[in-house]
Amino acid sequence: MLKRVLSRSYTTIDRWNSIITTIESTGGKYKYVAKDNILHKGLTTCASEILSNFESPYDATVIELLNKDMDLIGKANLDQFGMGSATANTIYGTVINPLFEDDDYITGGSSGGSAAAVAANLCDFSLGTDTGGSVRSPASNCGLYGYKPSYGRISRWGVIPYAQSLDTVGIITREMNVMKEVFTILDQYDDKDPTSMPQDIRDKVAKAVEVRNRERNGKYVFGIPEEIIVEELTDEVKYKLSLVIEKLLDLGHTVVPVSVPSIKKSISTYYAIATSEASSNFSRLDGIRYGKDHNFEGGDETIRGNRSKGFGEVVRKRIVLGNYSISADSGDFYSRAVEVRQQISKEFNEIFYLPHQMTNPDGLFEDPSKVDFLVTPATINKPLKISDYIKMEENSMDELTNDILSLPMSLGGLPAVSVPIKDKGLDISTQGIQISGQYGDDYSVLDMGDKIIKEMNM
């Protein structure tokens, strides 16, 4: 199977529909695949008809950094432009979860191809993008580590944007040591990316973390936001969360309930912001400036026809929603959503012990009862069968419920990692636990995720 994957063809190759293009290996330390919205010198389609013939003339910064020692062997399938939660909205076919043999299950999305490639041992790690959970969810469903960094920590230059104020490049691995090694390579300031975290902020975060760690002396405070304990959480998810809490208490840490009230508004806030930014970003994809031209006659017909034929149904719906959100008729949805987002960030800052080095760089460690990390489920349930997912799509609110676990961290720009906890009585994990921390505290979040798994002998 691996031999077939490494053949250089531009097709959907393997059973899991995860690799959509393959690239010749040159013998680097690790082999990896990149989600097909991350540019490399070659075909980059975003799993869409409108970019099906687009070849990038340059590599994204993350590709440049990794290709010094690693081998990019393929591009991974995704929900078109990152819009979806099952990797089913794609011209290459729905991605199938490699963990299951009895039936075809979803991976989650939108980085489902990236997760499937790692789960199927086709590569050592993969790159995805996480706008609202798009790395953490499929990683959780495929029994992997899935990491979303603090916003701006990894360069976005060369990533085709969905919602630029939320997009982050994330990493999916089977092993945490590989995750840390890859992140260390990518954790660099990039002057080509205007949203890249400045070096002085990185230095301030490192110094503040040193102070926090010295004062905590190895014993940390973990918070569980009350707002994420929703009715839809399955008993299996609650059981895994309780296992982690018990282990943390056994190790001498403190676990406390916390409240971030505006989390309840995160779904509506996210979709107002994300769709508004997407509608603006995708305006250039008209078949004239960018995108495939289907040779319609007349200017208006050309643009309308190219976009109608080139975008899938989900993308078209979100563009329409975004156009409305930034229109005069909406009542200023976008601006109101930005205000709620700011409130969510403020509420997160109020519960963390570590000061936020962008908004409160002079903050002092005054209240040791505040938390160092948050621990939450990564998904509300196990992966669905593809047939069941198709039925569920008829009620879009069911699909959105999962987002309540991942969207708050995206809106706050916080680092978060999904770690695999084995299913009861089985050797696989299909539901992860999410560890998140204060803005910039990425290495601590990864270390804590690693320690939890090691201590639980998973």
- The rounded distance, in Å, linking the Cα atoms of 313 and 317 is 6
Query: How many Å is the maximal CA-CA distance in the chain?
Result: 71
Residue that the structure tokens 């081998």 belong to: 71
H/E element, 168: strand 168-173
Band (10; pLDDT cuts 50, 70, 90): very low
Higher pLDDT, 391 or 33: 33
**Per-residue pLDDT, 288:** 83
**Per-residue pLDDT, 6:** 32
**Per-residue pLDDT, 417:** 98
Which sign does the torsion angle of CA 126, 130, 136, 139 carry? Answer: negative
Is a pLDDT exceeding 50 seen at residue 4? no
Inter-residue long-range contacts of 237-240, CB under 8 Å, 24+ positions, other chains counted: 237/377, 237/379, 237/380, 237/381, 237/431, 239/424, 240/377, 240/421, 240/431, 240/433
Of the listed ranges 185-194, 314-323, 328-337, 408-417, the least confidently predicted one is 328-337
Q: Do 348 and 200 contact (CB within 8 A), yes or no?
A: no
Q: What are phi and psi of 233, to 5 degrees?
A: -60, 130
Q: Do 124 and 158 contact (CB within 8 A), yes or no?
A: no
Q: Which residues are known to be catalytic?
A: 35, 110, 134
The strand ranges marked E within 294-396 are 373-377
Top mean pLDDT of 5-14, 128-137, 228-237, 390-399 is at 128-137
Sheet holding 432-437, edge to edge: 19-22, 71-76, 31-35, 125-130, 168-173, 145-148, 416-420, 432-437, 373-377, 221-225, 254-258
- Per cent of the chain over pLDDT 70 is 95
Using DSSP, how many helices (H) and how many strands (E) does the chain show? 15, 11
- The rounded distance, in Å, linking the Cα atoms of 318 and 452 is 38
Q: What are phi and psi of 265, to 5 degrees?
A: -100, 5
CA contacts within 13 A on the Cβ side of 141: 36
Q: Which one-letter DSSP state was computed for residue 221?
A: E
Which sign does the torsion angle of CA 75, 432, 80, 127 carry? Answer: negative
3-state class (DSSP) for residue 57 = coil
Q: Do 417 and 147 contact (CB within 8 A), yes or no?
A: yes
The pairing of strands 71-76 and 31-35 is: parallel
Of the listed ranges 53-57, 171-175, 386-390, the least confidently predicted one is 386-390
Band (363; pLDDT cuts 50, 70, 90): confident
Q: Is the backbone of residue 42 left (phi > 0), alpha (psi -120 to 50) or beta?
A: left
Q: Do 72 and 33 contact (CB within 8 A), yes or no?
A: yes
Q: What is the mean pLDDT of residues 32-61?
A: 95
**Per-residue pLDDT, 360:** 85
**Per-residue pLDDT, 3:** 31
Q: What is the mean pLDDT of residues 59-63?
A: 98
- Distances in whole angstroms, Cα of residue 260 to Cα of each of 69, 139, 179, 349: 42, 25, 29, 10
Q: What value does the mean pLDDT of the chain take?
A: 91
Q: Where are the alpha helices (DSSP H) in 73-119?
A: 112-119
The strand ranges marked E within 12-144 are 19-22, 31-35, 71-76, 125-130
pLDDT in tens, 313-324: 999 999 999 999
Higher pLDDT, 331 or 336: 336
CA contacts within 13 A on the Cβ side of 264: 6
Tokens coding 65: 């950094």
Is a pLDDT exceeding 80 seen at residue 421? yes
Amino acid at 198: P
